[in-house]
Amino acid sequence: MEKKTYGIKIECIQGDIASQTGIDAIVNAANAQLRIGGGVAGAIHRAAGPGLEQECRPLAPIRPGEAVITGAHNLPNKYVIHCLGPVYGRDKPEDRLLSSCYRNALKLAEQNEIRSVAFPAISAGAFGYPIEDAANVAIKTIMEILPDLRNVAIIRFVLFNTSDLEVFNSALSSMK
Ligand code: AR6
């Protein structure tokens, strides 16, 4: 589904974050070392090629809630914004740290005059964040930031499977 608020389009789709043609920046659910890993990070680094890890090396490590930006190498985008989400049950307070990921990613997007950004469900895989809670934090945070955005006009959530898509759709539709 999609929604337009403050002139900004927010949409949720099912798909692979590493094949978002036509989107300026994709967001990586990174590890602290910004290395290739599993899940989103694995898909992004495999599609980007080894140049991405090389560019990431001097930027690591990052802490939960932080974000850094790099080029996109062989991906069909201009930038990758790498966020380290909280490990559920370990990095606290989880909701604040997860919210910071979205805030810091959008701050970098604004600074780099990025028009469109695609996010995965940060922390909702290997890091164990329950998908409903992760979706609510993600959508609520985005809604709070919308009035401050000047450059970003499209925010896309890319969910890997239909059940996660339904959860994000219902979080989005329940927001004013
Ligand atoms: N496109 C979109 N979503 C995906 C994709 C994909 N290609 N692959 C998985 N997902 P995760 P995290 C979904 O584990 O929880 C890594 O190993 C997945 O179903 O990628 O933040 C890193 O190296 C889940 O809903 O990120 C870190 O160590 C969501 O994306 C650690 O995992 C996030 O899953 C980060 O864990």
pLDDT tens digit sequence for 126-152: 999 999 999 999 999 999 999 999 999
The pTM of the full predicted model, rounded to 2 decimals, is 0.99
Domain extent for 144? 2-174
Tokens linked to 85: 């989400």
pLDDT mean over 27-52: 98
Q: Which residues line ligand 1 at a C-beta cut-off of 6 Å?
A: 16-18, 29, 31, 37-41, 43, 85, 120-127, 158, 160, 164
Number of domains in the chain: 1
CB–CB of 40/17 below 8 Å?
yes
**Per-residue confidence (pLDDT) for residue 167, from 0 to 100:** 98
How many whole angstroms from 122 Cα to the centroid of ligand 1? 7
**pLDDT for residue 176 is more than 80:** no
Atom in ligand 1 nearest the alpha carbon of residue 164: 25
**pLDDT for residue 99 is more than 80:** yes
**Per-residue confidence (pLDDT) for residue 74, from 0 to 100:** 98
How many whole angstroms from 159 Cα to the centroid of ligand 1? 10
Rounded CA-CA distance 7/29 in Å is 27
CB–CB of 12/1 below 8 Å?
yes
How many whole angstroms from 106 Cα to the centroid of ligand 1? 19
Q: CA dist 78 to 16, 22, 116, Å?
A: 17, 10, 10
Going by alpha carbons, the residue nearest to atom 3 of ligand 1 is 160
Ligand 1 pocket, mutate which of 16, 33, 40, 90 (most atoms under 8 A from CB): 40
C-alpha dihedral sign at 171, 20, 115, 67: positive
Where helices occur in the chain by DSSP H, the ranges are 39-48, 50-56, 94-111, 131-145, 162-173
Q: Report the CATH number that the domain containing residue 119 is assigned in CATH.
A: 3.40.220.10
